[in-house]
A and B are shown apart, each in its own frame.
Chain A
Amino acid sequence: MAGVNARAKSGAKTFRVVVIALASVYFLLPLVSLADFSVRFPLTGKVDANAWLALIAPDDSGRLDLLREGLFNSLVMAVMTVVLAIGILLPTMMLVRLRLPRLSRIVEFICLLPLTIPAVVLVVGLAPIYAVISTKILDANTIWLAFAYVILVLPFVYRSLDAGLRSIDLKTLSETTRSFGGSWWTVLWRVIVPNVRSAIVSACFITIAVVLGEFTFARMLARTNLQTSLFQINLSDGQVAAAVSLLCLGLTTLLLVALDLIVGLGERRRARTLAPVTVED
């Protein structure tokens, strides 16, 4: 019996190693190719780091201006989206939990709705709204796209904040603060925010990752963000586009790894502090 078991175990191990090894090759191959492409001049096969150097060297030919503009716009929009999304959602979720539990279903439904509406559909409806924004209210600057990006990140921000608020005893904290004479503002800013800090940070990271990777809205509404400028640069300078793509991928990976660590830390802390309490889900 033990022999059969051992054989089954080693069989499973071989299967596992083979599958994971093949999958790793498949998934790494395009990344390695991208790196190779960024340093190898296509016609002559000469290897140099010109594409990478062009990114840091001051360059007056202006061929990377578009890319700089796109990167700048995307970074500004990432900040705007983070501030707007959390600024709108956190107070609402706090109020709903403390005072208006009957609204919790509808708030959740609205927040998760963008998951089921493809961005390419949403942008068709946003086009007339942005036509009004760019002619009558603000202007045609790319950064106003951040208003629409808030909708794209709503489900992710909602989920992180929801998990964060679930892990603290919101009612007791707010009642304590209120009975010591603190205003609602104090409850939000001095009590809730510090307690759900890791949830806020993870919401920020996922927002940054989404905004830096966004292409559909900017392309359809003819604006310049990081991805649309990459798209344009690729037509004239594929090697630079490859180098920037690798940088973006590296940055996204760092953000996601940091996110994973933060969520892991939060869970461990919660497990420590809430160990004796049974949570219903």
Chain B
Amino acid sequence: MSVAPSVTPTHSRDAAPAASRRRGPWLSVAGTVPFFAYTAIFLVLPTLLVVVGAFRSREGVFTLNGITQALSERTIGIFINSLVVSAVTALIGAVAGALIAYALATAPSGSLMRRTFTAFMSVVAQFGGVMLAFAFIATIGINGMVTRLMTQTVGFSLDPAMLSTLFGVGVVYIYFQIPLMVIVFLPALDGLKPQWREATANLGGTGVTYWTRVAGPILLPSFLGSYLLLFANSFSAFATAAALISQQTIIVPMEIESALRNENDLGMDAYAQALALGMIIVVALVMWGYAVLGRRASRWQA
């Protein structure tokens, strides 16, 4: 503001910003209306509809029918299926992914192998859904390549019907869980400073000491955080299972689908919303844990 007025003789430098500052806030706020209106309709409203709708009948009256239905023995069984398949595939994915990430971390960060393989992992992590199910049907399904090769060479093969069971769904999920783990866990491994290892050695510690007393505790929050991310990832997955299994519903998203697409019984809306509410609660708990662990992990990443 202290610039000589001669610099901008035609345009009054002092007046313009002051004027726009006076009416500015309201004009600027008006400029953000499209964003807030859009997200209100397509993000906030649907979320509220799920939460409120779980307690409302189609006529708009308060009811616990949806919730009661969602707490039936059968539905709880489906929730347990979802929780188990998520917990187990996240565990296997986390352990295998951490091992691969460690192998990558031992390579120099610019090396061709590391860059190529990391890029490959980010492609594979995106390769989910229907197409991944097809790939596994083509591998260990009834006409799959591995099924055929195994039958020809060793005379037996994995049971092709396995793919349409909960176990089979889990086997396929691991394929996208591992690369996700590699991607999210590699930065934590890169954050381990070689000086910490040298310091351990100088103080007389062995490799075991380093892993159990230094690197392990430092990596633990990141590892658990990544585990939760993988858990949420498979807990919300739908397409893969839908493409593998058509006859029954075994996980929560499939039960939501059958409730939502059921046109005979209009009372199913509240049930679908109650199921969705159940998923929101599980994912919210997982994300809360993730945030807490993330704060712990960031202590060592300064």
Contact = CB atoms under 8 A, between A and B. Distances in A.
Interface of A: 12-13, 15-16, 19-20, 23-24, 27, 29-34, 36-38, 42, 88-89, 91-92, 95-96, 98-100, 103, 107, 110, 113-114, 116-129, 147-148, 150-151, 154, 178-181, 209, 213, 215-216, 219-220, 222, 227, 230-231, 234, 238, 241-242, 245, 248-249, 252-253, 256-257, 260
Interface size class of B (residues with CB under 8 A): 35 or more
Nearest to B279: A121
Interface in B231-289: 232, 235-236, 238-239, 242-243, 252-253, 256-257, 260-261, 269, 272-273, 275-276, 279-280, 283-284, 287
A15 B106 CA distance: 9
Nearest to B290: A116
B242 A219 contact: yes
Given A116-B287, A220-B257, A100 B135 contact: no
Contact of A124 (B16, B34, B273): B273
Contact of A126 (B46, B103, B106, B239): B46
Interface in B180-199: none
B41 A213 contact: no
B46 A252 contact: no
A95 B32 contact: yes
Contacts of B31: 91-92, 95
A245 B42 contact: no
Given A119-B236, A120-B256, A230-B131, A125 B242 contact: no
B45 A257 contact: no
B225 interface: no
B211 interface: no
A50 to B, nearest CB: 16
16 contacts: A16-B107, A34-B139, A91-B34, A95-B28, A96-B32, A116-B287, A121-B283, A123-B260, A124-B46, A125-B50, A150-B42, A219-B242, A219-B257, A238-B137, A242-B134, A248-B131
Interface stretch (B68-76, B87-95, B141-149, B216-224): B141-149
Given A179-B11, A219-B242, A256 B145 contact: no
B39 A151 contact: yes
Contact of A120 (B48, B129, B279): B279
Interface in B118-140: 119-120, 122-124, 126-132, 134-139
Contacts of B113: 20
A124 B42 contact: no
Contact of B43 (A27, A113, A178): A113
Contacts of A33: 135, 138-139, 144-146
Which 5 A-B pairs rank lowest in CB-CB distance, beginning with the nearest? A125-B46, A118-B236, A37-B138, A19-B103, A30-B135
A213 B46 contact: no
Given A89-B35, A213-B129, A119 B144 contact: no
A30 B35 contact: no
A3 to B, nearest CB: 16
Given A16-B107, A117-B280, A215-B238, A92 B34 contact: yes
A180 B11 CA distance: 8
Given A116-B283, A117-B280, A119-B238, A107 B124 contact: no
A216 B128 CA distance: 12
Contacts of A31: 135
Contacts, number: 228
A38 B91 CA distance: 33
A234 B134 contact: yes
B13 interface: yes
B100 A20 contact: yes
Contacts of B200: none
Contacts of B253: 118, 120, 216
B256 A124 contact: yes
A39 B137 CA distance: 15
Q: Which has the most chain B C-beta neighbours within 10 Å: A119, A150, A220, A252?
A: A220
A245 B131 contact: yes
